[in-house]
């Protein structure tokens, strides 16, 4: 019998016992084995065999046990040093008193500031009759914010109050809007509302390097009303509080 081997079927390992089944290839590209006509698979038999094995493979779980003779526990007190640690690369204090002073040393608090308003005008009757005026200022060191309290006459529901300020003698100018602060008070038949402006300062270490100047603008009924301290603006100086 004429015996031939094709590349698609010659996939078994060399260690496998050779098969003596006759394999004949026909002209139609089919393989006939033992008188039975079968169609040749498009994939190698080894690939199909491996696919079936992986599909049927179940996960396995392993448990590891250590013998009691492998366990060794050693306890250290606060004064002991492990022998396996190189003392040359570890920190060993030679001055316990110095360590205690370092531990007890408190973190330096942030600087406390106080403000001075040398050119603020007095609250006389002329200023109290103004449509808008700066009433007072105060500074919060914890929040690093300068608060400006403003009183404005209630001339119309639609109004706008802004505070214009500078820290470099008007080379650069910033503005921030005022927020409603307190219910109105009545004086001579006129209601006055209180507003507040918060000016946040970030350069804490340089507050005393230059003063802060500001003024207030009040827009109502399409008209502008200013409180600029009679044209000289309001000056605020910062100084560190002495211990």
- How would you list the strands of the sheet with 36-38, edge to edge? 23-25, 31-33, 36-38
Is residue 90 assigned to a domain?
Answer: no
Is residue 144 assigned to a domain?
Answer: yes
pLDDT value at position 175? 96
Is residue 97 assigned to a domain?
Answer: no
pLDDT value at position 173? 97
Is residue 28 assigned to a domain?
Answer: no
Q: Both tokens of residue 8?
A: 């698609």
Is residue 141 assigned to a domain?
Answer: yes
Q: Which domain holds residue 163?
A: 113-240
Is residue 218 assigned to a domain?
Answer: yes
Written as tens digits, the pLDDT of the chain (243 aa) is: 444 444 444 444 444 444 444 455 555 555 554 444 444 444 444 444 444 555 556 666 677 766 666 666 666 666 666 555 555 544 555 555 555 555 555 555 667 889 999 899 998 989 999 999 999 999 998 889 999 999 999 867 778 999 999 999 999 999 999 998 877 777 777 888 999 999 999 877 788 899 999 999 999 888 999 999 999 999 999 998 876
Is residue 217 assigned to a domain?
Answer: yes
Q: How far apart are CA 85 and CA 100, in angstroms?
A: 24
Residues 6+ apart with CB under 8 A from 235: 117, 118, 119, 211, 212, 213
Is residue 119 assigned to a domain?
Answer: yes
CATH number of the domain encompassing residue 210 = 2.60.40.2440
Q: How far apart are CA 101 and CA 124, in angstroms?
A: 56
Number of structural domains the chain divides into: 1
């Amino acid at each position: 019998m004429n015996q031939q081997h094709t590349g698609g079927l010659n996939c078994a390992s060399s260690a496998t016992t050779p098969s003596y089944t006759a394999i004949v290839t026909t002209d139609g590209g089919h393989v006939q084995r033992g008188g039975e006509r079968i169609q040749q698979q498009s994939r190698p038999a080894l690939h199909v065999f491996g696919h079936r094995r992986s599909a049927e493979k179940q996960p396995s779980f392993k448990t590891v046990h250590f013998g009691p003779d492998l366990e060794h526990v050693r306890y250290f007190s606060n004064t002991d040093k492990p022998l396996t640690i190189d003392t040359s690369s570890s920190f060993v204090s030679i001055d316990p008193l110095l360590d205690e002073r370092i531990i007890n040393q408190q973190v330096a608090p942030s600087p406390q500031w106080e403000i001075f308003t040398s050119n603020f005008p007095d609250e006389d009757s002329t200023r109290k009759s103004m449509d808008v005026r700066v009433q007072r200022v105060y500074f919060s060191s914890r929040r690093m914010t300068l608060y400006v309290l403003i009183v404005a006459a209630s001339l119309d529901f639609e109004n706008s109050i802004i505070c214009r300020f500078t820290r470099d003698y008007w080379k650069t100018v910033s503005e921030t809007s005022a927020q409603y602060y307190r219910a109105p008070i009545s004086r001579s038949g006129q209601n006055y509302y209180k507003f507040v402006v918060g000016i946040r300062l970030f350069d804490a270490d340089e507050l005393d390097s230059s003063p802060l100047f500001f003024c207030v603008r009040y827009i109502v009924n399409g008209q502008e009303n200013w409180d600029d301290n009679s044209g000289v603006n309001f000056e605020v100086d910062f100084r560190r509080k002495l211990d």
